[in-house]
Amino acid sequence: MYNALARGKFKLESDQKEDTLTSSVLDYLLLLPDTMIWEIIRKSNPENSELPPHVGRVLDVHFWPSWDTKDIPDVSNTRYIEPDVFIEFEYADIIIEAKRYDNNQQSEKQWADQIKVYRENISNDSDNKQLIYFALGGIRVEKKSIIEVDFKSYDIFKIRWRQLMEIITSYTITIELSLEIVPTSGSYLRILQTILDALALHGYYISNHIWFETLDSAQNNLTNSLTRISLWIPQTT
């Protein structure tokens, strides 16, 4: 997707940019090790202390899954709804609803509809899994929202595209500094850089002062960073 866009293989219409941004960024993000995927998503949220530090392995990923809404009352679309991304982790299910810009585009009604349909058709009570909902982009304030669906409260955690970009930049710099010590992490670097390129194609750029601040922090915490990188790399027996 990203390379076809970057090389002008097809025209990027304005009404397609939300989907191409979501796909270009999250397609590549989900190629990373499972622990790293969750680390990046979690740290991109300003209220990450409320999120679990570990959610286990990625079991399945669905982009724009079509969830049947027939016979489910009070849902806007009477045929189906499509959350942007649904990630099944070992210990949690993640719904991501993405919007193109970092302004007020998200809808509480859309969040509630998706959670209602998830509860009716997708969740398995015997799994006892936590549902974690992220509104990515399209937010006015970063503070989480709490909504009620069928008399149960749900947290809606919020991430700006720029926050995601800054976290990915910090990982990129950390890996660059450690390449001589952990050369096998070079494949992660290529994936992360492709994500940053995709964000830039859609108008999100890292500023010089943020880059230098991140570099300084990464240099000061290199020992801790090497420990983290070692956890991402699959162990051979």
Total residues belonging to the chain: 237
Nearest to 112 by CA among 153, 142, 71: 153
Q: In 3D, which of 112, 178, 171, 185 has the Cα closest to residue 146?
A: 112
Rounded Cα–Cα distance for residues 47 and 31 (Å): 25
Integer Cα distance of 63 and 27 in angstroms: 9
Give the pLDDT confidence of 164-179 residue by residue, as tens digits. Answer: 999 999 888 888 887 7
Q: Is residue 4 scored above 80 in pLDDT? A: no
Residue 7 has pLDDT above 70, yes or no: no
Rounded CA separation 53/89 (Å): 13
pLDDT band at residue 216 using 50, 70 and 90 as cut-offs: low
Q: Which of 13-17, 46-50, 65-69, 193-197 has the lowest mean pLDDT?
A: 13-17
The pTM of this model reads: 0.81
Confidence at 77, pLDDT banded by 50, 70, 90: confident
The whole-chain average pLDDT of the chain stands at 82
Instruction: Tell me the CA distances in angstroms from 136 to 65, 126, 160, 161, one per residue in order.
Output: 17, 29, 6, 7
- Measure the CA–CA gap between 98 and 18, rounded to whole angstroms: 7
147 vs 227, higher pLDDT: 147
